[in-house]
């Protein structure tokens, strides 16, 4: 019988999978709470000069005209697309994904 950390290998693997599932469930709960909080925030009209913040990154009309319009009209889908790019590419920096997405939209 193979042992890891003094325990049977199968037990260690089950513990790792359980921990991973718990973390994923916690992440999903946190994301749902963020979405609920966003829905409860009062919506305000944005002026053309305002910057929009998505995933902690500022999007302004001058540097990201396509993303800026997208963020003004439907920020949720923009955020989901950026997260998809980050996940697919294995990146952590949303700014890089935004630059690529803006370039693709031109």
Contact residues for 77 (Cβ-Cβ < 8 A; gap 6+): 70
As beta bridge partners, residue 54 has 57
Entry pTM: 0.53
Q: Could you tell me the pLDDT band of residue 6, with boundaries at 50, 70 and 90?
A: confident
How far apart CA 21 and CA 30 sit, in angstroms, is 14
3-state secondary structure of 105: helix
**DSSP codes joined into one string, 62-79:** TT-HHHHHHHHH-HHHHH
Q: Which pLDDT value is given to residue 28? A: 87
Contact predicate 68/59, CB 8 Å: yes
pLDDT in tens, 13-25: 889 889 999 888 9
pLDDT in tens, 23-66: 889 988 888 888 777 777 665 555 546 788 999 999 988 889 99
């Amino acid at each position: 019988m193979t042992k890891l950390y003094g325990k049977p290998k199968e037990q260690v693997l089950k513990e790792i999978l359980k921990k991973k599932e718990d973390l994923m469930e916690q992440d999903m709960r946190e994301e749902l709470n963020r979405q609920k909080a966003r829905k409860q925030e009062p919506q305000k009209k944005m002026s053309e000069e305002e910057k929009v913040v998505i995933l902690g990154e500022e999007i302004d009309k001058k540097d990201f005209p396509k993303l800026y319009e997208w963020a003004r009209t439907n920020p949720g889908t923009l955020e989901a697309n950026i997260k998809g790019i980050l996940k697919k590419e294995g990146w952590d920096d949303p700014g890089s994904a935004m630059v690529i997405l803006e370039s693709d939209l031109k």
